[in-house]
Amino acid sequence: MMLLNDYASAFRSVGGPSRYSIWLPSVAAILAVWLFHYLSLTLAGSMVLSNAELVPLRRLIPVGAGIVISLGVVALVDFAWDRPIWLRGLMVLAVAWLAPIPYALLNLAVFPELSPDQTAFQRLVGMWTGFSHLFFAITIAILTVQYSVKLRERQDRFDRITRLVREAELQALRYQVNPHFLFNALNSVASLLSDRNLDEAEGMVENLAEYYQRVLAAGPEHEVPLRDEIEAQESYLAIEKVRFPDRLDVEVKAPPELAYALVPKLILQPLVENVIKHSAGRSTGRILIEIEARADNGDLLLQVQDTRSEGLSPRAAPSRNGAGLHNIEARLRALHEDAASLSAQALPMGFRVVIRLPLRMAP
């Protein structure tokens, strides 16, 4: 229940304020447009006006006003984002038609010498027509920036949701392993108690407590160094050797250079438990459990194989559709998608499972 509450709270927080804003990229786009406008008109004015040396300074006045008007457009576009698309379309047209009016009036006041042969109304209409295209382009640019920012925001939220889903899936899969292990271990203790092997049962409980404290009660990380994973399985097998003192042999083959290769936490646990359940628990002969790790073309191969001194019926081998192998495949898929795989093979005197996953070293 605590896990569900934690993830429900986390999912609610995904819809919170975005770390993206349309203001910074919009202001950058506005300044770029108005700089281009200023340079273009200044260059053109210097070619046709006699007092060209005064024009660049005077043109800063309407350009500054245009920047202020454009910032108002940004606020309007941001406010109207959640409105229907037809309303946003009308807003673009309204801005393109209305914003040029005060801008044109200011230009008439700053540049009274322009088009002296026209009436003030004619000059106003001419400027309004020309500047409406400018403000239409500015509004479209701001909308484009806004769509880009909102798209990044949604992608960011999608990535966070995907990460939370994966975390929840991995936690759930790990919690499937833990009770299963405890159930098997407690069964072993019960078996020893029923046989009056009190010293062995006491030692097994102590080993179990130590193992649980070191492995299952550890942090929430989903990957651990290979060295830690193998030590965990050796500790578990030490517990089971109390139950099968003369029948369980363990051989570990892992080169030192792979000691810090990252593997999913407790990924070998279901495989080792399958050996105990399907081999040691159903045979009276000796069982050799081989745990092997090796690098292969940029991948890490983990192999668990058991070899029995006497055969069992075919149905004693663990099924690929069993909970253990299914759990491993689900965890590999959640962590590595299609980059990891699991293969299982029944042998004449045992069973072999090979896990392939990307070789990544712990920092």
* CB under 8 A, 24+ apart: contacts of 6-13: 7/164, 7/167, 7/168, 10/164, 11/161, 11/164
- pLDDT score, position 149: 82
Query: Tens digits of per-residue pLDDT, 194-223?
Result: 777 777 778 778 777 777 776 655 555 678
- 51-78, pLDDT tens digit by residue? 544 567 788 888 898 899 888 888 887 7
What does the pLDDT read at residue 36? 87
pLDDT digits (tens, 9 = 90+) for 250-272: 899 999 999 999 998 888 888 88
CA 24/CA 83 separation, integer angstroms: 22
Q: Is residue 304 very low, low, confident or very high in pLDDT (cuts 50, 70, 90)?
A: very high
Average pLDDT over every residue of 116-135:
81
What is the pLDDT at residue 45?
63
If you count them, how many residues does the chain have?
363
Measured in whole angstroms, how far is the alpha carbon of residue 100 from the centre of its chain?
46
Q: What are phi and psi of 216, to 5 degrees?
A: -75, -30
Residue 320 has pLDDT above 50, yes or no: no
Q: Say which DSSP state 217 is in.
A: T
Beta strands in 95-246 (DSSP E): 223-225
> pLDDT tens digit string along 323-338?
678 778 888 887 888 8
Supply the pLDDT for residue 11.
Answer: 40
Q: Residue 27, CB half-sphere, CA atoms under 13 Å: how many?
A: 5
Inform me whether the pLDDT recorded for 43 exceeds 80.
no
